[in-house]
Structure formats: C-alpha cells, structure tokens
Amino acid sequence: MGIEFILSFIGIVAGAAAGWKLKFLTASGAGMAFLVGSLIVLGSNIQGLMLLFLFFITSSLFSAFRKEEKAGVEEKLAKSSTRDWEQVAANGGVPALFAILALWTGDAMWILGFAASIAAANSDTWASEIGPLSKETPRHFLTLSKVERGTSGGVSIIGTGASAGGALLIGGASLLLFPGISIGEAAVIVAAGFLGSVFDTVIGGTIQSRSVCPECGLETEARAHCGSATVHTGGIPWMTNEMVNFLSCLLAGMLPVLFFW
C-alpha cells in the first residue's frame, strides 16, 4: 500500500474523530463516515476523499452557522445538525457505491457519477441550511402558497441560490482534482447535482412521509416529539428524509453516466 493510501486513511480517521469531537457527528455517524471514506479512497483515491471532505466541511460549517436562528426549523426535521449513521449513509452511501463501481469496472465514467452524487448532497444541504435564514417566507414549489420554514417542498430565492452554489462548488472542485474531467463534464456534474436537489424538493413536498405531534400539533419528520410517538398524516411511511436524500443522490449520479454512456 502506497504512502498516499496510508495518508488517506489517517485523514479519514482524523476527520471522523474531529467530526465527533466537534459534535458534527454522533459516534455512529463517525463510524459510518470512516466506512464511507474508506470505500471512496479505494475507488477514487485521495482526490475522491478530498471531494468528500469538501462536502462534509462546508455542510457542517453551514449547519453550525447562525444555528440559534434555525432552532425552530430543526424541531420540524427528523434529525439535528449532528449527523448520525443514517444521515451519513444517505448522503455518502451513493458516492461510495459509484467509487467502488469505478474501481471494479475501471471506467472513469463512474467517477462522473461519483462527483455528481456528492454535488447533489452538497446542493441539498446548502439549500437546507441557508434557505431558512431567508427573510422572505418560503413557498411550496407546487402550490406557491406560503409555508413555514423547514417545510419539505418549500423554496426561496436564497435557498435556490445556495443550492446552485453547492453544486457549482463540487463541479469546480472536480475539475481541479480529477485531471481527466473536462469543462463540459464538470458542467454536467453541476447540472446533475442541482437537478438532484430539485428532485429532493419535489419528492419531499409530495410523497415524503409526514407526521404530527399529538401533544403540540407540530408537523414534523421526527418519529417522536414532546415525549410521544408522532402520528403519520401523509406520504409514504417508508419515504423518510434519509430515503429521499439517498434517491436524489442516486438520480444525480446516474444522470452523467447515462448522458455520456
């Protein structure tokens, strides 16, 4: 094993430990981050790990940015800004899969899918973390009616701009990190990442599972609130936020693969 791989695995351990220490990750989240990072290194070398770190660092910083102003939004969500293994797997599992496919087939096309899936995860995370800070009230993408901040399917100008910026960052970084990626391919990565985030919004606002707290009446994605189990009110029960994230990353990753097939 070369020095590059040794340094990469040291970086994975250090990154997972730092994420846990800084409360960006739970203990289970740190363990899953190590697994995902290891698979990505095997399939896409240190460049892929750097792309993953870029997503993790920027998304974690935006999660912590003006956190007190987003307290009400977090209450509606199933998870807090401290990511557990399910959240890490939902956003990192698909990139790991594409990285392993690149290793198995030897086809660089899967690297495009790998980068696009991370672009989708970054795009959606930036929108979710920056959008709630908008001074304007978000509107549901389907009905255009005003909705509370944090409501699945809600969009705002600043959130949409953040979504595009998140995809653009990963596309630009892919162009710099992977010598074989052209400007045109990087543009497809950006477009696929943004479309993945759009898909996340559409699914989140239509068929994602919705529940309500029987104690306070809050509509939330969480399974429990106010010490009681929430009551399912709509959507597909198994279509959780993690499943929506997983599917949006998968769709985004497949778009450049199919485009350049």
For 215-256, the pLDDT digits (tens) are: 777 777 777 767 777 888 878 888 888 899 999 999 999 999
Long-range contacts of 242-245 (CB under 8 A, 24+ apart): 242/78, 242/86, 242/87, 242/89, 242/90, 243/90, 244/200, 244/203, 244/204, 244/208, 245/87, 245/90, 245/91, 245/121, 245/124, 245/200
Q: List Cβ neighbours of 18 (8 Å cut-off, separation of 6 or more).
A: 24
CA distances 252 to 3, 29, 82, 227, 242, Å, are 33, 23, 25, 37, 15
Task: Note the pTM of the prediction, 2 decimals.
Answer: 0.88
Number of domains making up the chain: 1
What is the pLDDT at residue 79? Answer: 57
In single-letter form, the type of residue at position 168 comes to L
pLDDT at 77: 59
What pLDDT is recorded for position 82? Answer: 76
Question: The domain containing residue 163 runs over which residues?
Answer: 3-259
What is d(CA 144, CA 146) in angstroms, rounded to the nearest whole number? 7
Amino acid 80: pLDDT:
58
Counting as low any pLDDT under 50, the low residues of the chain are: none
